[in-house]
Amino acid sequence: MTDLADSPAVRRLDDWDLERLETLADEYDTPLYVMDCDRVKANYTRFSEAFPDAHVMYAAKAHTGKAVLEAVIEAGGTIECAAWGELQRSIDAGADPNELQYTAVNPPDHDLDYAADLAAENPGLTITIGALDTLERLAERGYDGRIAIRINPGIGTGHHEKVATGADAKFGIPYERVPEVADRVREGFDLVGLHAHAGSGVLTEGLEDHCRAIERVGEMARRVGDDELEFVDVGGGYGVPYREDDDPLNLEKTADMVRDAVGELDAQLKLEPGRYVVADAGLILTTVNTIKEAPDTTVVGVDASLSTLIRPAMFGSYHPMLNVSAPGRDTLEATVGGPVCTSADVFAHDRPIARPERGDVLAIGNAGSYGYELANQFHSQPKPAEVALEDGEARVARRRETLEDVTRLEQ
């Protein structure tokens, strides 16, 4: 088991070895993703130990890189997947298909074909449905195996309206229709669980709303017969503090509140942390290429962009930043942005940072979750490399793309 003695509840940018980061930037070039797989294992272990009687799965969509999946599996974790590609990549990383859980959200035909074929050889696979249509489509494919029902609890939580899935009609069976759907499932399938996910990025102060959604899941489990269910899955959504002065999630309090909210159950409790496991295990290194004095700010241009990390442009997300090359310089307030031709390509506005100079390496923190996963090739920019750190060693987990990679599908 991973030793948590030297593992803080949250890793800040100051906790990284800055000299080593600068060496990585020199050796592997920038922009560069860095993932600390030892930290991934420690985060998974810490969360699991807070819920010793629960089954803790890792939500693969947060970061589906092979090095990360292997680290979770090594720590004893199983994987929750939201698409057929995540199922296959989990298997490629060493996961047992019989332990995978596939949460189908408006699944394309190819996804259901893959899942049904996989389950035919691995009957332990669980498929979570969020629409009666999905159940009918599975039956058409000859599937009659393990089903969990995703509930829409009508309560959304999290750091942004775009991730408050618990109140979004796109996700899950409407609450009062769940008993009817449960009866339909039992007619031709093996109903093994209920599932819900209220939102993402929840910290301690947001736990009350989060637990109101969980309370409804527990109530529904008892209505449909929790003594006949294998598990009740209350999802993930547990966050990390992105801002330097925000406190980390109080895991002990979280565990107590979640257990109280779900109530007495004969079924096993399941949880699916994703962001909590990987966010502070990853960062981006980027090089300063332009310093421009403007009337209202100093513009610092870097080689990373919204194609490297889209969260600030998509969600207005805050990510901490640090001048790795010269953390001790006097600070100035700077606007830090990349080379993409849109005003959305900005990582920070008027952010205090040790005065950057051309050639300095900056670190963008908490990039391990929904960072590389949402990277793209806008402006024909090849995706960056990713380096994995483990047991004191660094290795290339994903090579840097070339322009040939960007254009190789063209005909």
Whether 341 is catalytic: yes
Q: How many domains does the chain have?
A: 2
Q: Are residues 235 and 287 in the same domain?
A: no
Buried b (16+ CB within 10 A) or exposed e, 171-198: bbbebeebeebbebbeeebebbbbbbbb
* Residue 162 reports pLDDT greater than 50: no
Residues 64-115 have pLDDT tens digits of 999 999 999 999 999 999 999 999 999 999 999 999 999 989 999 999 999 9
* Residue 156 reports pLDDT greater than 50: no
Tokens of 308: 């490297």
Per the CB < 8 A criterion, the answer to whether 255 and 53 are in contact is no
The answer to whether residue 147 sits within a structural domain is yes
The answer to whether residue 18 sits within a structural domain is no
Domain boundary among 277, 298, 321: 277
Residues 166-220 have pLDDT tens digits of 445 777 899 999 999 999 999 999 999 999 987 778 888 888 888 988 999 999 9
Any idea which of 25-29, 66-70, 161-165, 295-299 has the lowest mean pLDDT? 161-165
Q: Tell me, what CATH number does 169's domain have?
A: 3.20.20.10
Is residue 273 part of an annotated ligand binding site?
A: yes
Range of the domain at 368: 282-407
Q: Tell me, what CATH number does 313's domain have?
A: 2.40.37.10
Q: Are residues 292 and 232 in the same domain?
A: no
Q: Are residues 232 and 321 in the same domain?
A: no
- Give strand ranges (E) for 144-214: 146-152, 157-158, 173-174, 190-195, 199-200
Q: Are residues 242 and 300 in the same domain?
A: no
Is residue 408 part of an annotated ligand binding site?
A: no
Q: Are residues 64 and 211 in the same domain?
A: yes
Task: Calculate the average pLDDT of the chain.
Answer: 93
Report the pLDDT value the prediction gives residue 160, as an integer from 0 to 100. 37
Rounded to two decimals, what is the model's pTM? 0.94
Q: Are residues 165 and 199 in the same domain?
A: yes
Cis peptide before 179 (omega within 30 of 0): no
Domain boundary among 246, 277, 308: 277
* Residue 381 reports pLDDT greater than 60: yes
CA 219 vs CA 148, 177, 186, 224: distances in Å: 16, 14, 19, 9
The answer to whether residue 205 sits within a structural domain is yes
Is residue 85 part of an annotated ligand binding site?
A: no
Q: Are residues 222 and 327 in the same domain?
A: no
The answer to whether residue 125 sits within a structural domain is yes
Q: Are residues 273 and 286 in the same domain?
A: no
Residues 334-379 have pLDDT tens digits of 999 999 999 999 999 999 999 999 999 999 999 999 999 999 999 9
Q: Are residues 186 and 100 in the same domain?
A: yes
Domain boundary among 232, 262, 277: 277
Is residue 237 part of an annotated ligand binding site?
A: yes
Find the DSSP H helices in 31-127: 37-50, 66-74, 84-92, 109-121
Per the CB < 8 A criterion, the answer to whether 17 and 219 are in contact is no
The answer to whether residue 105 sits within a structural domain is yes
Choosing from 37, 81, 211, 341, the catalytic residue is: 341
Q: Are residues 311 and 213 in the same domain?
A: no
Is residue 329 part of an annotated ligand binding site?
A: no
The answer to whether residue 17 sits within a structural domain is no
Q: Are residues 121 and 81 in the same domain?
A: yes
Q: Are residues 253 and 375 in the same domain?
A: no
Q: How far apart are CA 202 and CA 209, in angstroms?
A: 9
The answer to whether residue 56 sits within a structural domain is yes
Is residue 275 part of an annotated ligand binding site?
A: yes
The CB density around residue 313, as the number of other CB atoms within 10 Å, is 20
* Residue 5 reports pLDDT greater than 60: no
The answer to whether residue 28 sits within a structural domain is no
Is residue 320 part of an annotated ligand binding site?
A: no
